[in-house]
Chains A and B, each alone.
Chain A
C-alpha cells in the first residue's frame, strides 16, 4: 500500500518536472525555429516598410515623417524581421539628435538623445524653446534610468504607431490639445519610451546618417519655427499579427537575462551556495542535538510513566515540551538569541543551532515517546527477565526498535527543521533564505532569487525524503 502511494507521489513529481522541462524545450526550439525562419530585409524593403507605416499615421504627422525620412538613405545592412529588431524614429527640433536607431543587442539606445540633452543643459545652451523637449527627455530619461537599473540589459521592441486608435503595445493620451503623448511598453518594464507626437508645420532640416556596422543613426538638425518635436517608433514592420513564438522566445530570452543578472553576474550564486551550506549545517547540528535532547526527554517521560520515578525531571520536561510546542519558532529564536545568548557573546550561527535544537528536541521527544510506546511490552519483559536493568533494556532492546518505528516521523521532523531554519535570517544568519534576499536587494528582482530559494529547499527536501526511504527499506529488510 505504502509503496504504491510513494510510487504515485514520485510519478506526480516526475510529471511536473517533465512538464517544466517540456515547456522550456519548446520555448528554446520555437526561438530557434523563429530565428531561422525570419526574413532578412534589404535596405530598400526596410525603407518601404517604414514608408508604409508612415502612411498609417495621421495626416499631419505622416507628412512630417515623410519629410524626415524621404530622401534619406537608410543604410541598413540587414534588418531581420522579429521582435528583437527595432527601428526607432524620432524627430526632435533644434537639436542635433538621433532620429532613427537600428540596434541589435546594444544597450545605448536612448543614451545619445539623453546625453546630448544633458550636454546642452550643462553647456547652458538650453533655450526656452527647449522646454517641451526637456519635459519629454526628462521623462524618457527617468524611464530609461529605471529600465537600466532594473534590467541592466534592455531590449526594445519595435512598435508601430497608430496614433489615432492608439492600439498595440503603446498607449497614447492627448496632451495639451495639439500633442499626443505616447508611451511604449515592453515585456519586462512597463514604460520604456515616452514621446510626444505633434503636428509639425514648419520645419527645416538637414539629415546625417551614421553607420558603424551595427548601429545606424539618422540624425538631423531641425530648425523649427512654429511647431514642436515629434517622435515616434515603428514596430514589427512586416506583420501586424501578434507573434506567439516571438512571445515565447522573448520570454525565454528575458528568462536567460534574468538568470544571468541574478546568479551569474558577479558570482551572485555564491550567496545561495554559501547560504545552502549554512542552512544544511544548522539543520545537521540542530538535528543531532535535537535527537539527543528528544531521546533524553522521551526516556524521562516514559520512565516516569512506567516506574513513577523521576517525577521532578518529568515535570521539567513537560514544562519544556509545552513551552516549545506552544510558541512560534520565530519567537523562540529571537528570545533565545537576543535575551540569553547575545549578552553571553554567543555567535549567531551557534545561537541558531541551539535554538533549533531546543525546538526540534521537543518534537523529537514526542515522536520517540510514541515510538517507545509502540514497542511491545513483552520486549521489555524479555529484557528484564534476562537480567538487564531498566536502562540496559531501553538501550539494547526498546530504543533500537522505537527508533525504527519512529523513523518516518523523525524524518518529517528533520525536513520541517530544515524549512523552519529559514527564520534564522532574522537574527542575521546568512542562510539560504538570507542568500536569496541578498540577491534580491542587489538586483531588485523578486522572481528569480526567491523562486531559486524555493527550488533549492524543495530539491534538498526531495533528496532527504529519498534517502530516508532507502534507510527505512534497509531497516525493514533486516527484520525479514
Chain B
C-alpha cells in the first residue's frame, strides 16, 4: 500500500433497525498523511456517522477501515491502541467536568502512554500556551467559555500526539463570536501538517484550509475534490442545491 496512506475506508455501511435506516450506504475513500479533509453535507447525510466510524465510536454494519495498514474493524484488533493515535473533538466538547483543565489533558497520557506527571504536565502546558489558555490550567471546565472549552478539548486530544485529528462539528455549539478562536487553532494545526478530518458547516474554513472537500448526502459520497472544484465548480445537482442554500 502507498506509504503515504493513513486511513482507507472500503465500502463502509451503517444500518439501523435492520436495513430501515441507512446512515452510511457504501462509503469508500482514502485519507493521506498531511491531508485536511473537510466533510460537508446536509444534516442527516451521514457525515457525522462517517467520522465517528473512523475510530469505531460507531460500529459499522459492513465494510472495512484500515488505519495505518491495520484493519481496525477486525474484532481481533485492539481498537483502544489505535484510538490513542486518533484524536477526536466533539461538538459538545465533552471535557471531564470533575477535573481541572490540566488534569483533563494529562489523564490519558499518564494512564495510557505511561508518561510521568512532570512530562505530561510540561507537554500540556506547552499546548495550552499555543492556544493561549496556559493561565487557565487549574480552572474547571465549568469556569470556561465555550470557545475556551473547545480549545481545551483540541489540546486534550493533541496531548496524546495523535496521527490524525477528527473534528465532529467543532464550532456548531459555539456562540458566533467564539467560532473564530477555535477555527484559528484548527488552521494553525493544519499549517503544521496535522492530518485532519473535519465535519463542519464552516464553508469559509473549508475553502481556506481544506486540501480536499467531500460532499455527502444520504449516506453516500456524492462528490469530492479540491475546495475550488467543490465550491466553484459543483458538478452534481445535489451539491449545487446544497451550496445554494448554505452560501
Contacts and interface: CB of A to CB of B under 8 A. Distances in A.
Interface of A: 376, 378-379, 381-389, 392, 396-397, 400-401, 404, 478-480
Interface string B134-162: 00000011110000000001001100100
Interface in B57-96: 57, 80-81, 83-84, 86-88, 90, 92, 94-96
A379 B95 CA distance: 7
Given A378-B92, A479-B140, A480-B140, A384 B108 contact: no
Shortest 7 CB-CB contacts between residues of A and residues of B: A387-B84, A382-B94, A385-B88, A378-B94, A386-B108, A387-B83, A389-B80
Contact of A401 (B92, B97, B157): B97
B198 to A, nearest CB: 15
Contact of B142 (A385, A389, A479): A479
A397 B103 CA distance: 11
B142 A387 contact: no
13 contacts: A378-B92, A379-B94, A382-B88, A385-B55, A385-B83, A385-B166, A386-B84, A386-B107, A388-B108, A401-B97, A404-B98, A478-B98, A480-B143
Contacts of A386: 83-84, 107-108, 112, 156-157, 160
Given A376-B94, A381-B57, A401-B98, A387 B107 contact: no
A376 B88 CA distance: 17
What size tier do the contact residues of chain B reach?
Answer: 20 to 34
Contacts of A478: 98, 140
B114 interface: no
B245 interface: no
Contacts of B94: 376, 378-379, 381-382
B14 to A, nearest CB: 16
Given A382-B94, A386-B84, 8 more contacts: A379-B94, A381-B90, A385-B88, A385-B157, A387-B83, A387-B108, A404-B98, A479-B142
B98 A479 contact: yes
B97 A479 contact: yes
Contact of B90 (A378, A397, A401): A378
Q: Which of B57, B98, B140 has the most CB of A within 10 A?
A: B98
Contacts of B55: 385
A382 B80 contact: no
B90 A382 contact: yes
A388 B96 CA distance: 14
Contacts of B84: 386-387
